[in-house]
Amino acid sequence: MKKPEHLLMVADTERDADMLYAVGMFVPDPFIFLRSGGRSYVVMSDLEIDRARKQAPHLHVLSLSLYQRKLRNTGAKRPGIPDVLAALLREKGIRRVVVPQSFSYGLAADLQRRRVRVAARPGSFFPEREFKSAAEVKKISAALVMAEIGMAEGIEVLRRAKIGKGGRLLYHEVPLTSEKLRAVIDTAILQAGGLANHTIVAGGRQGCDPHEGGYGPLRANETIILDIFPRSQKTGYFGDITRTVVRGRASEAIRKLYETVFQGQKLAFQKMRAGVPTRQVHREVQEFFEREGYRTGRQAGRMQGFFHGTGHGLGLEIHESPRVGANSVGTLKPGQVVTVEPGLYYPEIGGVRLEDVALITRTRPRNLTRFEKVLEI
């Protein structure tokens, strides 16, 4: 019979998605989480203990100060997290714990000196995080609405911008820059209850580097990639959306590039069925682009074409399992939420990327994104 696992984490929930998943409330400072014998325990400071008992009723909330008081009574001068951890594990009769890959090396070494065996779990600490419940899908959808609000504000500013000399865009008679448009988008997201995370506003050649945030004046008649991925302040779940637009007139080369990416995304949605290998979905899109004449490879010292994945899992992290790319493994399964974001990038034309979010079901995928796709504005 397999021995029961005792799962241990020491982290905060602001930055650690596994801890937030297990606890379900935001705590800015690291604390102890232990799952043993089907019960979950957290050790909280006096600052957080009452809130934890109210907001996380599924947990057994223990007092950090009470443990520290007991340890001081036994001679410990300044009992810290390692001392409290050892006392908790001794109290529960636990001599072996399983921790995430990110667990502190120093803390692990300290536990091992106290004759507690520490084993890191390979891969995801909570594999079930990959499959979203109906409640989680609603939280992701709510974060997507925040992203769409930001997108709507950004596109409206571009639509109202005037075209000045040299093709520069002017807004309220001053040059419209990536930085100014990003501020508009991020402010709208904040007002909607989200936190923006490195929003991308990349025009022209800048858009050919998919993770370039964008800087400087925006121009008419060239592609502008808007990639928005806010986190809900309430739940911690992410939304993710990308649109590519042109303020003014798109060239024939841009139109063809955009239409090809648009059709590539439609193809990806058609292929995203339960049981289909993730790598196959990506390969289908890649081969479609090749057939349309858009090759991928290094030209003039930089990558061009389609050189990133077709999608990634979305949830409490902006990038999580499963991945949909050239080297991804596994098959699509009902309950997974993944982005669908093919793109093509050529410096002489510009970059085009379109991104929606798909919920994998037992039949066809469900598109959680509602925002329209329009090239010229």
Does the pLDDT of residue 3 top 80, yes or no? no
Q: Which of 22, 17, 67, 55 is nearest to 40 (CA)?
A: 22
Q: Which helix (H) or strand (E) holds 200?
A: strand 200-203
pLDDT score recorded for residue 2: 60
Domain ranges (residues) in the chain: 7-125, 130-367
Does the pLDDT of residue 230 top 60, yes or no? yes
CATH-assigned architecture of domain 7-125: 3-Layer(aba) Sandwich (3.40)
- Residue by residue, DSSP assigns 44-81 as E-TTTHHHHHHH-TTSEEEEHHHHHHHHHHTT-SS--H
The pLDDT confidence band at residue 300, using thresholds 50, 70 and 90, is confident
Lowest-pLDDT range of 1-5, 67-71, 188-192, 343-347: 1-5
Does the pLDDT of residue 348 top 90, yes or no? yes
pLDDT score recorded for residue 349: 98
Q: Which of 274, 276, 322, 280 is nearest to 124 (CA)?
A: 322
10 Å CB burial of residue 220 (0-12, 13-18, 19+) is: buried
Using an 8 Å Cβ cutoff, are 326 and 260 in contact?
no
Using an 8 Å Cβ cutoff, are 202 and 185 in contact?
no
Q: Which residues 6+ apart lie within 8 Å of 73 measured at CB?
A: none
Model confidence over 233-276: pLDDT tens digits? 999 999 999 999 999 999 999 999 999 999 999 999 999 999 99
Does the pLDDT of residue 117 top 90, yes or no? yes
* Average pLDDT value for the chain: 97
**Residue 338 is encoded by which pair of tokens?**
């993944």
Using an 8 Å Cβ cutoff, are 310 and 324 in contact?
yes
Q: Do 7-125 and 130-367 fold alike per CATH?
A: no
Q: What sign for the dihedral angle of Cα 351, 356, 317, 310?
A: negative
Q: Which residues 6+ apart lie within 8 Å of 308 measured at CB?
A: 210, 325, 343
Lowest-pLDDT range of 113-117, 256-260, 287-291: 113-117
Model confidence over 187-205: pLDDT tens digits? 999 999 999 999 999 999 9
Q: What angle do CA 295, 151, 179 make, to 5 degrees?
A: 85
The pLDDT confidence band at residue 91, using thresholds 50, 70 and 90, is very high
pLDDT score recorded for residue 228: 98
10 Å CB burial of residue 37 (0-12, 13-18, 19+) is: exposed
Q: Do the strands 96-99 and 117-120 form a parallel or antiparallel pair, or are they unpaired?
A: parallel
Alpha-helical (H) ranges within the chain are 17-23, 49-55, 64-73, 81-92, 105-113, 134-160, 178-191, 252-271, 278-291
Spacing of C-alpha 142 from chain mean position: 14
Spacing of C-alpha 17 from chain mean position: 10
Does the pLDDT of residue 1 top 80, yes or no? no
Model confidence over 30-52: pLDDT tens digits? 999 999 999 999 999 999 999 99
Does the pLDDT of residue 292 top 80, yes or no? yes
**Residue 244 is encoded by which pair of tokens?**
């590519």
pLDDT score recorded for residue 4: 78
Q: Which of 106, 105, 102, 91 is nearest to 36 (CA)?
A: 91
**Residue 173 is encoded by which pair of tokens?**
């008679």
Domain 130-367 CATH superfamily: Creatinase/methionine aminopeptidase superfamily (3.90.230.10)
Beta bridge partners of 227: 200, 242
Model confidence over 151-188: pLDDT tens digits? 999 999 999 999 999 999 999 999 999 999 999 999 99
What span, in angstroms and rounded, lies between the C-alpha atoms of 366 and 210?
25
Using an 8 Å Cβ cutoff, are 292 and 237 in contact?
no
pLDDT score recorded for residue 374: 98
Does the pLDDT of residue 126 top 70, yes or no? yes
Q: Which helix (H) or strand (E) holds 32?
A: strand 31-36
pLDDT score recorded for residue 115: 93
Q: Region 12-17: what's the mean pLDDT?
A: 97
Q: Please count the other Cβ atoms lying within 10 Å of the Cβ belonging to residue 46.
A: 10
